[in-house]
Amino acid sequence: MSCTATVPPRDPLTLGRSGHPLKRVGGRARVFCIKPRRHGLQSARTFVSFLRAMLSSLSLTLSLALGMGAAAQTVADKVAMLRLAPTEVDRIKLLSDDDFTFDFLHQSTGVTTGGAGHTVAASSGNFPALIGNGMAMTVGFLGPCGMNTPHVHPRATEFNFVVNGTLSAGLLVENGARFVAHDLQSGQAAVFPRGAIHFEFNNGCEPAMFVAAFNDEDPGVDQVAQRFFGLPPAIVDATLGGIGVEQVAGLESKIPDNIALGSDECLQRCGISRGNQPTNQRQARVSANALPSGFSGPSVADSPPATATYSLPSFSPSPATPTGSSSQQTSNSDAVRGGASIVDSNGKPDPLVLSLLIVVCALAAGYVALAIVWCVRRRREKTDRTRGMKYFKTGPDFAPQGAIFEAEKAQPFERYSGAHDSERITPYDAPSGGA
């Protein structure tokens, strides 16, 4: 801190007893001690750094949340845009080179798993390149005595090729038609007309594999047992000759997931125990098909939504990250949910996305609170310096001299309302007898 005085040219400059210059004001000489205003500049720099850190962290968190939401919509957006594309050339432009390949051996979508094997499906739900091409494919991996349980494809004819092993297959086309049976060796294929009830059964003790082609990009699938017993129990009871709704509910709870274990004869021959098989593919229940009292089943809230909602943002080609669903039991709507949402494919809140959104909101609220606190404290400090702790002393006892002056220099200063309003100064009266 330095003590200086600026006086008009017409005023004589005198010195007090401490040797500091004095300004004559109204017959009194006053000295002005000026303290450089570094605090304000440092506070401003601190606040700017704080704002930068706040914006950076918010931007990073929002990017993570939006990036996850965008990834969940990639397939849905591609499917929607491909369906609207007027020509094949336009569809090609929307796809990258990698979008034209599908790996059946390393898939996390389109997979249906039971106690005796699994199937992997490529359809429009998880392989957008099929849009407009009128075809789909499923590869089945059947363990010993594994069976692709009776089912129908409501929108496509199936052409099933046996890669290895031996499959026993059969079909029923409609009422009045005879039952058609096949024993398919490796290298042989069979056709299953659209809507026909059919099955494939590995009657051997070694794994078998088949490849099924469909003439529709979304062939659909209905497992006969699960869907039949998913009707109102009273209707099923009457259809079965009145066995009782309790018997119907008991049977429904025991229907195994596809792929299931086959006949007892095969199991005994291959030394396999049936044991407990998963039963997660049961029909969801609403009030119209509710089970009788004492029995429970999956609800609609626990099942995939029946329809898909699409969003149509601008789309730039990029490698697809399939997010489809099982071809056998899981609706394709698992993969093609559109629009920004914090719910997963089951209609429940997605824990990760929800957590990120909560973090973003908490960060934003915290930063706003910190900014308010900083502004309030800054204003309070400024008020204290200018009003709450005034230092304005007159008279000879407070003239700048010796230890008193040195001690008083450390006290807070007020803003002088004179010609040099931009300087923080402390006025002092002239000493006794000063000019």
Q: Which residue has the higher pLDDT, 145 or 20?
A: 145
77, pLDDT greater than 70: yes
Inter-CA distances, 24 with 5, 162, 401, Å: 10, 112, 18
Dist CA 230 CA 297 (whole Å): 10
Q: Which residue has the higher pLDDT, 222 or 318?
A: 222
431, pLDDT greater than 90: no
Q: Are 367 and 261 in contact (CB under 8 A)?
A: no
Using left for φ > 0, alpha for ψ between -120 and 50, and beta otherwise, residue 165 falls in: left
Dist CA 274 CA 281 (whole Å): 18
Please give the pLDDT value at position 32: 46
Q: Report which secondary-structure segment, H or E, holds 223.
A: strand 222-223
Closest CA to 184 of 156, 212, 149: 212
Share of the chain above pLDDT 70, in %: 59
Q: Are 35 and 424 in contact (CB under 8 A)?
A: yes
Please give the pLDDT value at position 288: 94
Dist CA 206 CA 116 (whole Å): 12
Average pLDDT over residues 398-409: 57
Please give the pLDDT value at position 19: 47
Region of poorest pLDDT, from 218-232, 406-420, 421-435? 421-435
Q: Which residue has the higher pLDDT, 129 or 45?
A: 129
Closest CA to 157 of 184, 197, 191, 122: 191
Which string of DSSP letters, residue by residue, matches 225-264? HHHHTTS-HHHHHHHTTS--HHHHHHHHTTPPPSSEE--H
Q: Report which secondary-structure segment, H or E, holds 222.
A: strand 222-223
Please give the pLDDT value at position 369: 82
Q: Are 163 and 138 in contact (CB under 8 A)?
A: no
Please give the pLDDT value at position 347: 53
**DSSP type of residue 271:** T
Q: Which residue has the higher pLDDT, 307 or 217?
A: 217
**What would the two tokens of residue 417 be?**
């309302």
Note if the pTM is more than 0.75: no
Domain ranges of the chain: 76-292
Domain 76-292: assigned CATH number: 2.60.120.10
**Integer-rounded Cα radius of gyration of the chain:** 41
35, pLDDT greater than 50: no
